[in-house]
Amino acid sequence: IERTLVLVKPDGVRRGLSGEILRRIEAKGYTLVNLQLRAADDALLAAHYAEHEGKPFYAPLVDFMKSGPVLAAVVEGHRVIEGFRTLAGTTDPTAALPGTIRGDLGRDWGLQVQQNLVHGSDSPESAEREIGLWFPQA
C-alpha cells in the first residue's frame, strides 16, 4: 500500500487548522500511520527542499518553515500520493479550487513565500525519501 508524507506547515498549525486538515484526510478514507509535531531545523529543511535550493523563494521558504512547529504525518492508502495532492489543491492558494484544503482555507497574505498550509510528497521516490527524513526511526 502506498504512503505519502504530509506536513501541516507552520501557518496551518498557527491558525489552528491541524485538526481540520487531518479530518479531511481521514474523511477521504486515508489512514494516519504516524504523526509528530516538531520544530524543523536547517539540516532537515535543506534536505527536504534540496530541489529548490538556489531558487529566489528558497531562503524565505526555509525561514517560514522554521517560524513555528510543523505537524508531520505519514498517510497511507492506494494512490494516496496523487489523492492527497488533489485534496490539497494547487500550490498557489489564490488559484486553488474551492473544495481543496488550500482553496478553502488558504489565501495570499502578501508575503514573500506562498503560505499554503500543507505539503504532500509528489512521487513515490519523494515520499520514501521524505518519510525517512521526518521519521528517521520508522
Known binding residues for ATP: 9, 57, 85, 91, 102, 116
Q: Does 113 bind ligand GTP (CB under 6 A)?
A: yes
Query: For residue 68, what are the CA distances in angstroms to 8, 38, 40, 106?
Result: 11, 9, 8, 17
Is residue 120 close enough to count as binding ligand GTP by CB under 6 A?
A: yes
Point out the catalytic residue in the list 48, 52, 78, 119: 119
Backbone angles phi, psi at 89, to 5 degrees: 85, 175
Grid cell locating 17: 487548522
Site for ligand GTP in 52-91 (CB under 6 A): 57, 61, 91
Q: How many CB atoms lie within 10 A of CB 137?
A: 5
Could you tell me if 1 and 76 are in contact, meaning their C-beta atoms sit under 8 angstroms apart? yes
C-alpha cell at 112: 514573500
Name which of 25 and 137 has its Cβ closer to ligand GTP: 25
Q: How far is the CB of 122 from ligand GTP (least distance, A)?
A: 5
The answer to whether 119 contacts ligand GTP (rule: CB under 6 A) is yes
Please report which residue ranges of 5-123 form alpha helices under DSSP H. 10-14, 18-28, 42-48, 58-65, 80-88, 101-105
Stretch of 20-28, 72-80, 111-119, 130-138 lying at the interface with ligand GTP (CB under 6 A): 111-119
- The minimum distance between CB 113 and ligand GTP, in angstroms, equals 5
Catalytically active residues, by annotation: 119
Q: Which residues bind ligand GTP (CB under 6 A)?
A: 57, 61, 91, 112-114, 116, 119-120, 122
